[in-house]
Structure 1
Amino acid sequence: MSIDPIDLHLLGESLRIARPDRAWLVAAVLACALVGAWGIVARRRALRELAGTERLAAKLGGGVSVGRMIAKAALGSLGLLALSLALLRPQLGEKADVAHRRGIDLVVAVDASRSMLARDVLPSRIERAKLELQTLIDRLQGDRVGLVTFAGDAFVQCPLTTDYGAAKLFLRAIDPEAMPSQGTALAEALRTAGSMFRAADRGAASKVVLLLTDGEDHQGEAQAAAEALANDGVRIFALGIGSDQGTPVPILDSRGKIVGYRKDHQGNTVMSKLDDGQLRALAAATKGTYVAAAGADLGMGELVAALHKLERSELDAVSGFQYGEAFSYLALPGFLFLVAGALLRERGRDE
C-alpha cells in the first residue's frame, strides 16, 4: 500500500520523509537492539549466579569485557538504525523550482446555475462540461489557467496557475446545488475574469475567457462587460451548451436521482434552452470565437485549435518544490558504525 510523503519541520528546516512505508525497518532494528540488550544482561546475570563472585564470573566469561560487549552491540545497533533511517529517504530544505514557460492566460468561466443540471447533454450539461474541461486542461502546455464559477453571482474558483492538478481539483468541486444564489450573471462572470487578468503578474500577450454556459442571462449588461474586456485585449471564446428546443430542469435528491422538475410561480415546468445569439455577440465583440456544443468532445477540439493559434509569451511560474536528498547524512555514519562494531574485539586482553 502506497503512503504519501510526510512533511515536517526540524530546527526551522523543512523535512520530508519520502518513503514512510519503510518505517517498519526502523521498528525492527529497535526491537532487535532491545532483544540484544536483554541478552547481554541475562548472560551477565547467569554468570554471576553460577560463579557466585565477580572475579570468578569474569574467568568463566573467558576474558570477555562487558564494556566492550556493550559498545560492540551499541555500534552495530546504531549502524543498522542509521541505515534504516536512510532508507526512509529523508529530504531536507525546500527550494522553489521556477519554470520558464511560454503560453497564454486562460480563465474558464463555468456556468453553475441549476439550468446546467438539464440533461439534453448527458449525463448533464454541467458534468459533461467539467469532463471536457479536464481534457482541455490536460492538453495545455505552459499556459496559465484559472476558474470562475458563476450563477446569480460570480467568484474566483481557482486563480491563474500552471498547477493543472490543482485546477482540476477545483473544477471537480463545482456543484450547482452549492451555489449561494441562483440565476445566470454573465456580466459579473466576465468582470470577475477581467479582474483576474489585471491582478496577474507578468500578464501574457494573449488573454482568453473561455465561457461555458447555456447562454441564459438574468441580469443583463453582459455586452458592456464584453466590450470592457475587449478594451483590455481579452478575447471571449464561448461554448454554448444545450439545445434550441429547451429541456426541463430536474430536481435531484441527495443521491442524484431525479425526483421532479422545477416550476415557475405559475406552476409551469421551467424549460431551459440555449441562447446562442447572445454568446455569438459576446464573442464577436472581442474578436473571439463561438462554438455550439456538438460531437463527442462538445466542440472542445475546435476551441483548442483556436487557442493554439494565439501568440504566446514567456511566463515565470512556480511549478513545484524541490527537496535535497539527505539519506547520505545517515548512510555514511551508519556504515562507519557497523565497521567499527565489527572491528571492536569483545576480549579486553589476549588469552
Structure 2
Amino acid sequence: MSPWYSLRWFGQAQWQQFQLAHPLVLWLIPVVLFLFLLRFYLHRKAQQRLNMSLGQHIIPRSQGRAGRVQTTRSLLTLGRYLLPLSSFIGIACLLVALARPQIIREQRDEQSEGIDIMLAIDVSVSMSETDLPPTRLAAARRVAQAFVNTRKNDRIGLVVFAGEAFSLCPLTTDYGLVKQYLADLNDRMIRTSGTAIGDALARCINRMRGRAGSPADTVRQDSDKWKMERSKIIILLSDGDNTAGNLDPITAARLAKAFNIKLYTIAVGRPNRSSSKATTVDEGVLKTIATIGNGSFFRATDAGRLRDVFAQISQLEKSPIRVQIYEDVQDYYRVYIYWGITFLLISLFLKNTIFGNVLED
C-alpha cells in the first residue's frame, strides 16, 4: 500500500482498479472548472494594475522591461495562476473523495449437494455384439466413464444385471472407484442368462430410497438448512426385453415413481438382424418404464449417439447450486481528502505571497 502522498493515486493503472460508489459526483468537477473559467473571463478586463515609481518616471506595470527584469516579470505573471490552479485541484480532490473510490474484491462460494445417480448396466451375453464397436458393453463402459467425469458433487452407484442383478458399487462420491468398477465390466460377470430389468431397478431403488448412505458412501454430510431433498435418477442401459428375474419391470417402475426417482432408459444397439444371429433390441418395455418413471427413453445405435444421450441427460439433470458472494470493500476516499486539504492549504499560502493579487479581492 503506497502512502497517501504518492503520485500513484493519480495514475491510470490505479484508477482502473477503482469502483465509485457515487460516480455522478464527478460531474461537478467540470462544473467547478467552468466556474473558474467564467470568473477569469469576467474579470480579465477589470483587473486593477499597480504602477511602480522609479524617481521621476512612472512605469506602468504592464510595460515590459528589457533582459532579466522582463523574464522575472513573466515568471511572476505565470505564477499568479498557481493560486486558482491549486484551489481547483483541491476542490476536485474533495469531489473525488465524495465519489468514494473503492476497490471491491469479490469471492464466490458455490455449494451444491448434488444428486443421486444409479447406473444399471446390462452385462448379458448379447452385450458382446459388435454393432457398436468394439462391443455394445465396451462402448457403454467408455461413455459411462466419461459421464462420471462430467458430474460434480453427485453420488453415483452401479448395478449390473443379466439373468440376475447385483449392486456392484453403492452411492459414493469416489468417482475413481466408480470408474474402476466400470472398467472391470464384462459379459462373464454373471453366469445366469437372461435380462432381469425389474430386479436391476429394484436394486437401484433399494440403494436410493433412504437418505442415510452405506458405510462405503463417501458423501460429506451437511446440515445446512438450505439444502432440499436430493434429486434421484436411474440410468438403465440394456439391449433386450425382460426375460428373467422375480420382479416385473412395470411394477419396479411404479415403485421408483413412488420414491420420486426418475428413470432414464437407453436401448443399446441396432434393431436389426445380423447374418449370423439375432440381435433384436426390444424397445417396448424400456419406453414404458421410462414413461412411468417420469424420465425419457433414448435409442443409441452407435457410440456417438450414446455419448449424445449421456450429454443430454447431464443437461437435464443438473445439481442445484447455491452461490454466496462475499465482497471485501476497501474505501480510499481519505487519500483524496488529504490531497484536497493539502492543495487548499497551498492556495491559502499563495494568497499571502507575491503570487496573490490583493487588489482583486
Normalised by the length of structure 1, the TM-score is 0.52
Query: How far did 1:313 drift?
Result: 5.5
The answer to whether the Cα contact below 8 Å between 1:247 and 1:271 also exists between their aligned partners in 2 is yes
> Shift in Å at residue 103 of structure 1?
1.1
Matched, 1:229 2:256: yes
1:180 correspondence with 2:191: yes
Aligned to 2:283: 276
State the secondary structure of the residue aligned to 2:168.
strand
Counterpart pick for 2:306 among 289, 299, 303: 299
Question: Between Structure 1 and Structure 2, how many residues are aligned?
Answer: 197
* More deviation, 198-207/185-194: 198-207
In the alignment, which of 194, 202, 216 is matched to residue 241 of structure 2? 216
User: Which consecutive residues of structure 1, in runs of 5 or more, have no partner in the other structure?
Assistant: 1-98, 249-268, 316-351
Q: CA deviation at 1:290?
A: 0.9
1:200 CA displacement: 4.5
Question: Quick one: distance in 2 between partners of 1:206 and 1:215?
Answer: 28
* Equivalent residue number for residue 243 of structure 1: 270
Provide the rounded CA distance (Å) in 2 between the counterparts of 1:164 and 1:174. Answer: 16
1:136 aligns with 2:147: yes
Deviation at 1:277, TM superposition (A): 1.9
1:22-72, CA deviations, whole angstroms, 9 ceiling, x for partnerless residues? xxxxxxxxxxxxxxxxxxxxxxxxxxxxxxxxxxxxxxxxxxxxxxxxxxx
Residue 113 of structure 2 corresponds to: 102
Q: Which residue of 1 aligns with 2:181?
A: 170
Alpha-carbon distance in structure 2 between the residues aligned to 1:131 and 1:247: 24
1:210 Cα deviation after fit? 0.3
Identity fraction in percent: 28
Indicate how the Cα distance of structure 1 residues 213 and 247 shifts in structure 2: closer, same or farther if over 3 A, else same. Answer: farther
Q: Distance in 2 between matches of 1:142 and 1:131?
A: 21
Structure 2 counterpart of 1:271, one-letter code: A
CA distance in 2, matches of 1:311, 1:165: 21
Deviations 1:125-156 (A, max 9, x none): 00010011011011111111000000010011
Structure 1 residue corresponding to 2:209, chosen from 181, 198, 201: 198
Counterpart Cα distance in 1 of 2:171 and 2:250: 24
Question: Partner letter of residue 292 of structure 1?
Answer: R
Q: Is the contact between residue 247 and residue 273 of structure 1 (CA under 8 Å) also seen in structure 2?
A: no
User: Does the aligned pair in 1 maintain the 2:140–2:306 contact within 8 Å?
Assistant: no
Distance in 2 (alpha carbons) for counterparts of 1:247 and 1:285: 32
SS in 2 for 1:158: strand
Residue 100 and residue 158 in structure 1: after superposition, are their counterparts in 2 closer, same or farther (change >3 A)?
Answer: farther
TM-score under structure 2 normalisation? 0.51
Partner of 1:49: none
How far apart are residue 302 of structure 1 and its match? 3.6
C-alpha RMSD of matched pairs (Å): 2.5
Higher strand share: 1
Question: Residues 243 and 294 of structure 1: is their aligned pair in 2 closer, same or farther, counting only changes over 3 Å?
Answer: closer
Q: Is the 8 A contact 1:204 1:314 kept in 2?
A: no
Which whole-Å deviations, capped at 9, do the CAs of 1:270-320 have from their partners, x for residues lacking one? 5121111221111111110111104543333344333433463589xxxxx
